[in-house]
Amino acid sequence: MNELEVGSETETVEAPETGTLPLDAWHRANGARMVEFAGYYMPIQYSGIVAEHDWTRSSAGLFDVSHMGQLTLSSDEGAEEDAATALERLLPGDIAGLKPGRMRYSLLLGDEGGVLDDLIVTNMGAAEGQALGMVVNGAMKWDDIAHLREHLPDAITLTLHDDKALLALQGPKAAAVLEDLVPGVGKLTFMKAAAFDWQGASLWISRAGYTGEDGFEISVPEDSAAAFADALIADERVKPVGLGARDSLRLEAGLPLYGHDLSPETDPVSAGLGFALSKKRRESGGWMGHGTCVSRFAEGCAERRVGLVLSGRLPAREGAAVMHGDEQVGRVTSGGFSPTLGHPVAMAYVASEHAADGTELSIDVRGKRLDARVAPMPFVPHKYYRGEA
C-alpha cells in the first residue's frame, strides 16, 4: 500500500509502463486473451465477447476491475476541516451530506468545468475510521492523485490501496450467488456499501457496477483475490467476463467512458450529467468549474451527448462524423453492435438543435452514410436493485 500524504514532499508515484494485476495468472489459467489497457495487462475475453455479454444479462458475470484506483481520504488529528468538506472544493456533489455506507457518483472538474475524471465517493464510516472511499478510473488514477495532492490541504491524508483487488459480479443472479458466499450482502441496495468477512479476509462490498445490471463491486485483499474468484466461478451461475463485454454492456446502459465520452474538453451539462451537480451545491458554489457549469444550465449548451440508434448491422466507431444532410453536426464518441438489441448503437455529441429524441441524422463511416436516429438512453433499461417494491 502506498500512503501519499497530500501536500507532502514525497516523490510523485509513477505508474509502471505495463503492469500486472493481482489476478493476472488466474486470468491466463482460465483461458483469457490478454491485452494492454490502462497501463495493465487485462483480459479482453475468455469464451467470446457476445457469449460473455449475453451470460451477464442472463446470469452472473465476474469482471476484474483491479486497474481502477481505490483511494481513501481521511483528516489528520487536529485538522481544521474534515475530508468531505475539503473534497467539496473539487467535486460538485454533496459529499458532506453522505451518510455512512452511502455512495455518490461525482466528477473531478478543472477550473473551466472540464471533466478530469468521473468517480464514485463512499462514506466508509467506522470501517475506515470515518474515511471517504473513492474509486477512480484506472487510466486516470495517477493524474487524479496528483490533482488531489495539489489541491487538498496538507492535513488530509490520501491513501492508494494497491494491495487490494477489485472484482465486479454483475447480472440478475449476482445477488443470489454472492449471498450464498457472503451472507448478509443481499440486504444492500443500489449505491450502498458495507464491510464483510470471508474466510478471515476483510471485504468492502458495494451494490453498484458498470453494466446496467444489478450487481456488486468487491474490494478484496490481494492475497485472497484468487481464492475468492475461484469460489465465485465454482458456482455454475458465474462465468468470467472480459473487457470486451464490459464495454458493450456499458454502451447499452448508456454509461459514458472516460477518455472517450468524457474529457477535459467536455463539461457535465453538455455530457448529460447534470444530476451529479446537486442543486444545493450549484447554489452554494465554491467548487472548481462552478461558473462554467452554472452558465451552461442557465444559457444552454452548444452541443449535447445523445444516444443514436443505427439502421442495418454496420456499427459506427469513435470519431465518425454525425451528419444532418451535408452538414457535420457532431461526432461519435462510442459505438458498437448491441448484442441485446440486435442492431448498432452509439453515443455522440451533436449540436443542441439536432439533439431532440427522434431527430433523423446520418453517420459517415468511411464514406458510407448510415441512417441514425437520436434515441433516449439507456438503450437497455437499467436493472439496479433499490429494494423491495
Question: Domain of 177: which CATH number?
Answer: 3.30.1360.120
In this structure, the answer to whether residues 240 and 380 fall within a common structural domain is no
Both 245 and 316 in one domain: the answer is no
- Among 252, 267, 286, residue at a domain's last position: 252
Q: What is the DSSP letter of 99?
A: P
> Residue 276 domain-assigned?
no
Q: What is the pLDDT along the chain (389 residues), one digit of tens a residue?
A: 443 333 333 345 454 578 999 999 999 999 999 999 989 999 999 999 999 999 999 999 999 999 999 999 998 877 778 899 999 999 999 999 999 999 999 999 999 999 999 999 999 986 555 699 999 999 999 999 999 999 999 999 999 999 999 999 999 999 999 999 999 999 999 999 999 999 999 999 999 999 999 999 999 999 999 999 999 999 999 999 999 999 999 999 999 999 999 999 999 999 999 999 989 999 999 999 999 999 999 999 999 999 999 999 999 999 999 999 999 999 999 999 999 999 999 999 999 999 999 999 999 999 999 999 999 999 999 999 999 86
At 316 the three-state DSSP class reads coil
- The verdict on residue 126 lying in a domain is yes
pLDDT at position 1: 40
Give the separation between CA 362 and CA 142, rounded to whole angstroms.
38
Predicted confidence at residue 277, as pLDDT, reads: 94
Render pLDDT for 133-162 as a digit per residue (tens, 0 to 9): 999 999 999 999 999 999 999 999 999 999
Q: How many domains are contained in the chain?
A: 2
What pLDDT digit, counting tens, does each position of 81-120 carry? 889 999 999 999 999 999 999 999 999 999 999 999 999 9
299 CB-contact burial (10 Å; exposed 0-12 / middle 13-18 / buried 19+) = exposed
9 and 146: one domain? yes
Q: Is residue 107 part of a domain?
A: yes
Longest dimension (CA), the chain: 64
Q: 168 and 20, same structural domain? A: yes
3-state secondary structure of 315: coil
Residues 229 and 308 in one domain: no
Of 252, 271, 286, which marks where a domain is finished?
A: 252
User: Is 209 in the same domain as 348?
Assistant: no
Residues 244 and 387 in one domain: no
Domain match, 228 and 337 both: no
pLDDT for position 130: 64
269 lies in some domain: no
**Domain harbouring 328, CATH code:** 2.40.30.110
**In this structure, are 221 and 98 located in the same domain?**
yes
58 plus 187 within the same structural domain:
yes
Region of residue 86 (left: phi > 0; alpha: psi -120 to 50; beta: else): alpha
Tell me which residue range forms the domain holding 371: 302-389
Looking at residue 9, what DSSP letter applies?
-
pLDDT reported for residue 127: 57
pLDDT number for residue 125 = 87
Q: Is the same domain home to 309 and 244?
A: no
**Is residue 279 situated within a structural domain?**
no
Is residue 259 assigned to a domain?
Answer: no
Please calculate the CA angle 81-83-87 and round it to the nearest 5 degrees. 105
Element (H, E) at 250: helix 243-252
83 C-beta neighbours (distance < 10 Å), count = 28
Which residue, 117, 61, 108, 64, is CA-closest to 87? 108
Based on the fold, state whether residues 207 and 306 are members of the same structural domain: no
From 233, 252, 271, the end of a domain falls on: 252
| Cβ burial 273-285 (10 Å sphere, 16+ → b, else e) | bbebbbeebeeee
Three-state DSSP at 287 gives coil
In a domain, 79, yes or no: yes
Say if 292 falls within a structural domain: no
pLDDT for the residue 81: 86
SS3 114: coil
